[in-house]
Amino acid sequence: MSRSIQNALGLSVLALAALSVGCAGPRSYVVLLPSPDGSVGKVTVSGPAGQQLLTRAQTGTGLDGGKPPFEVSSEKLARDFGAAISARPALPEQFLLYFSPGGAALTAESDALLTQILARAKARTSVDLSVIGHTDTKGDAKANESLGLARANTIAALLRQMGLPDVPLSVESHGERNLLVATPDETDEPRNRCVEVTLR
């Protein structure tokens, strides 16, 4: 091999190395992706070399915070994150059940929804549930907390009766302190008389 070819080869190897380093970008990095609903949020990075803000999908930045955002190809995403992405559990599912005023009796529509919740719970592998009672702001907060708990317990008991397998289930009451629809105090609001069932 002539000297000049050797030199040329050496140079191109160097160039390739430089190029691949350039393409590779930082080895520790974060990439913003669209949420399952299609929306794109924001990610901030703060590190020893500075701060960065990601606002566009499929842009990334090194975790040291020193370099401005860069585009990340789908190939690179698949290579670096394919395994993690493929391991994603099924997304949580949420159901809202509504009650007649002041008591723990379900409306007719919500009664029917229970069957659907049960079917979905059985269809998921390794499901756990939370059953959270909510009330409207009619009456005092303490009484509403108890009422919310009574509603949540009613639903949990119904689901068990209907054949919900023995899976982790938490029963909570948020009473009138976590309104699904914001209202002033002492407001009769059917949409707040509710039990929220989440399947995870």
Partner 1 sequence: MTLGNKTKHRWLEVMAGVMLLLAPLAQAQAGDEAIGYVKTVTGQALVITAGQSVKAQPGTAVLLGSQLKTGRAATLGVTFKDGTVMSFGPDTELTVDEYLYAPAQDQLKLTARLGKGSLNYLSGVIARLKPSAVQIKTPVGIIGVRGTRFVATVEEGL
Provide the binding-site residues for partner 1, judged by CB under 8 A. Answer: 26-36, 39-48, 54, 62-65, 77, 80-92, 125-126, 128, 130, 168, 170, 174-175, 177-178, 198, 200
* Dist CA 149 CA 123 (whole Å): 27
Q: Residue 50 or 107: which CB sits closer to partner 1?
A: 50
* Dist CA 34 CA 127 (whole Å): 25
* Dist CA 24 CA 67 (whole Å): 13
Q: Phi first, then psi: what are they for 147, rounded to 5°?
A: -65, -45
- The CB-of-192 to partner 1 minimum distance in angstroms stands at 13
Closest CA to 135 of 117, 147, 123, 119: 147
Q: Residue 138 or 174: which CB sits closer to partner 1?
A: 174
- The CB-of-134 to partner 1 minimum distance in angstroms stands at 10
Q: Residue 80 or 187: which CB sits closer to partner 1?
A: 80
* Dist CA 163 CA 141 (whole Å): 33
- The CB-of-64 to partner 1 minimum distance in angstroms stands at 5
Which residue's structure tokens are 């493929």?
Answer: 86
- The CB-of-62 to partner 1 minimum distance in angstroms stands at 8
